[in-house]
Amino acid sequence: MPESVPLLDLRRQYDGIREDVLAAIARVCDSQSFILGPEVEALEREIAALTGAACAVGCASGTEALWLALVAAGVKPGDSVITTAFSFFASASAIVRAGATPVFVDVDPGTLNLDAALVDQQLRTKRPENLRAILPVHLYGQCADMAGLDRSAQEFGVAIVEDAAQAIGAEWSGRGAGSLGVAAAFSFYPTKNLSAYGDAGIVTTTRLEMAEHMRRLRNHGSPRRYYHDEFGWNGRMDAIQAAVLRVKLAHVADWNQSRRQRAATYDQLFASAGLTSGLTSSQSVAPVRLLSRSSQAKHVFHQYVIRAQRRDELRKFLADRKIGSKIYYPLPLHLQAAFSYLGLKAGDMPVSEQAAGEVLALPMFPELTAAEIRLVVESIAEFYS
Ligand SMILES: Cc1ncc(COP(=O)(O)O)c(C=O)c1O
């Protein structure tokens, strides 16, 4: 039996690709070309091909990618953008940085992704002023209900900008995350399924003119050096990050498949330990509940998340046994102090609020062993016994 189980162990991945990564970094050092350039351009082509988008624009982080996508989609000061109340802060702070106001909508109780029915209801009953876009997040690596959101977006004439930060390689009805709206933001933060050796991100888009705009925006709004047509920023990607990402990109489909296999092992062990009453029941009283998996979604399990009774006690119990876990996210966005100006309060997004008190991410990475998964599930069973 293993003595501990880390939430994520990047060293195991590194051990398998070390030579290739070091050679890629050496290639950049030898070229003495450190920002944008051929490595970033090659990565942009490869990510566009992987996602099925027309093109991609490499940038400094996933947060930067969200801002670029929103501005290029036409979001401007005074606009509003619908997004989920249950995500990482950047999903909403990028909207603010674009000068717009986030309009939070609650999540689906099964998947914890933006609830398309509630979005539709909001559009029909209280359509936000100057609504420009809907920004769904593909939480934990599973696409939001893009069929429902797309119907509403089309009917009401607004753009969809995907927050695909956690969803490289994910699909909805056979189409890649990153090709499901006008633009999509990916993060290559070191813990992501495809991760850099520092900060990096990319935007994919189905529209060539948006890609050109974003190339200018990431470089101080400059179409040519020292001439500036608008206010952009320094949001460029480092060549070393692109070179490392290109090495890893060759493995990401296999790594995502390994994540799916590990998720299936967790599911089976939870069921056979009698801890879950099967997939998805949001009304179930089982001590552990799994999130629903949409039949149209190909999940990439950036995180394997359970909803647990007495979650905080369970987390401490696991920590005492050297088993890593993490809470994504402990406080929904509408209750963050930074958004107090919106005037929202506890009770406004009940599904997100309940989820924030129950979710727990368990160890998940492609090299996680079956023995480690068994130890995690057995420890959880011991806690509830
Ligand atoms: C859903 C989501 N959106 C946006 C981001 C921002 O990405 P980054 O950390 O690369 O800026 C992240 C990751 O941290 C994320 O998980």
SS3 labels along the chain: CCCCECCCCHHHHHHHHHHHHHHHHHHHHHHCCCECCHHHHHHHHHHHHHHCCCEEEEECCHHHHHHHHHHHCCCCCCCEEEEECCCCCHHHHHHHHCCCEEEEECECCCCCCECHHHHHHHHHHCCCCCEEEEECECHHHCCCCHHHHHHHHHHHCCEEEEECCCCCCCEECCEECCCCCCEEEEECCCCCCCCCCCCCEEEEECCHHHHHHHHHHCECCCCECCECCCCCCECCCEHHHHHHHHHHHCCHHHHHHHHHHHHHHHHHHHHHCCCCCCCCCCCCCCCEEECCCCCCEECCCCCEEEEECCHHHHHHHHHHCCECCECCCCCCHHHCHHHHHHCCCCCCCHHHHHHHCCEEEECCCCCCCHHHHHHHHHHHHHHHC
Of 59, 61, 63, the residue with max ligand 1 atoms within 8 A of its CB, to mutate for a pocket test, comes to: 63
Tens-digit pLDDT profile for the chain (385 aa)? Answer: 899 999 999 999 999 999 999 999 999 999 999 999 999 999 999 999 999 999 999 999 999 999 999 999 999 999 999 999 999 999 999 999 999 999 999 999 999 999 999 999 999 999 999 999 999 999 999 999 999 999 999 999 999 999 999 999 999 999 999 999 999 999 999 999 999 999 999 999 999 999 999 999 999 999 999 999 999 999 999 999 999 999 999 999 999 999 999 999 999 999 999 998 644 445 457 899 999 999 999 999 999 999 999 999 999 999 999 999 999 999 999 999 999 999 999 999 999 999 999 999 999 999 999 999 999 999 999 999 9
One-letter amino acid of 46: E
Q: Which atom of ligand 1 is nearest to the CA of 189?
A: 10
Q: Which atom of ligand 1 is nearest to the CA of 90?
A: 4
Identify the pLDDT of residue 278.
Answer: 47
Q: Which residues make beta-bridge pairs with 305? A: 361
CA-closest residue to ligand 1 atom 12: 165
Is residue 55 within 8 Å of 255, Cβ to Cβ? no
Distance from the alpha carbon of residue 105 to the mean position of ligand 1, in angstroms: 19
Q: Nearest Cα to 193, choosing from 257, 258, 256?
A: 256
Of 139, 189, 302, 333, the residue with max ligand 1 atoms within 8 A of its CB, to mutate for a pocket test, comes to: 189
Q: Which atom of ligand 1 is nearest to the CA of 328?
A: 16
Task: State how far the Cα of 109 lies from the Cα of 145, in Å rounded to an integer.
Answer: 13
In Å, how far are 2, 140, 319 from 324, measured between CA atoms? Answer: 13, 17, 6
Identify the pLDDT of residue 182.
Answer: 98
Distance from the alpha carbon of residue 149 to the mean position of ligand 1, in angstroms: 21
Torsions phi, psi for 105 (to 5 deg): -125, 145
Instruction: Give the full edge-to-edge strand order of the sheet including 359-362.
Output: 288-290, 304-308, 359-362
Distance from the alpha carbon of residue 95 to the mean position of ligand 1, in angstroms: 13
Task: State how far the Cα of 286 lies from the Cα of 208, in Å rounded to an integer.
Answer: 49
**Which tokens go with 75?**
């979001």
Does pTM surpass 0.85? yes
Q: Nearest Cα to 181, choosing from 140, 132, 219?
A: 132
Distance from the alpha carbon of residue 91 to the mean position of ligand 1, in angstroms: 7
Within 6 A (CB) of ligand 1 lie 61-63, 87-88, 90-91, 137, 163, 165-166, 187, 189, 199, 201
Identify the pLDDT of residue 284.
Answer: 54
CB burial of residue 42 (10 Å; 0-12, 13-18, 19+): middle
Of 88, 186, 300, the residue with max ligand 1 atoms within 8 A of its CB, to mutate for a pocket test, comes to: 88
Distance from the alpha carbon of residue 165 to the mean position of ligand 1, in angstroms: 5
Task: State how far the Cα of 138 lies from the Cα of 18, in Å rounded to an integer.
Answer: 30
Distance from the alpha carbon of residue 31 to the mean position of ligand 1, in angstroms: 30
Distance from the alpha carbon of residue 178 to the mean position of ligand 1, in angstroms: 15
Q: Nearest Cα to 116, choosing from 87, 93, 136?
A: 136
Task: State how far the Cα of 369 lies from the Cα of 239, in Å rounded to an integer.
Answer: 33
CA-closest residue to ligand 1 atom 10: 62
Sequence-separated (6 or more) residues with CB below 8 Å from residue 259: 141, 193, 300, 301, 302, 304, 364, 365, 366
CB burial of residue 260 (10 Å; 0-12, 13-18, 19+): middle
Q: Which atom of ligand 1 is nearest to the CA of 199?
A: 10
Q: Which atom of ligand 1 is nearest to the CA of 63?
A: 11
Distance from the alpha carbon of residue 67 to the mean position of ligand 1, in angstroms: 12
Distance from the alpha carbon of residue 2 to the mean position of ligand 1, in angstroms: 31
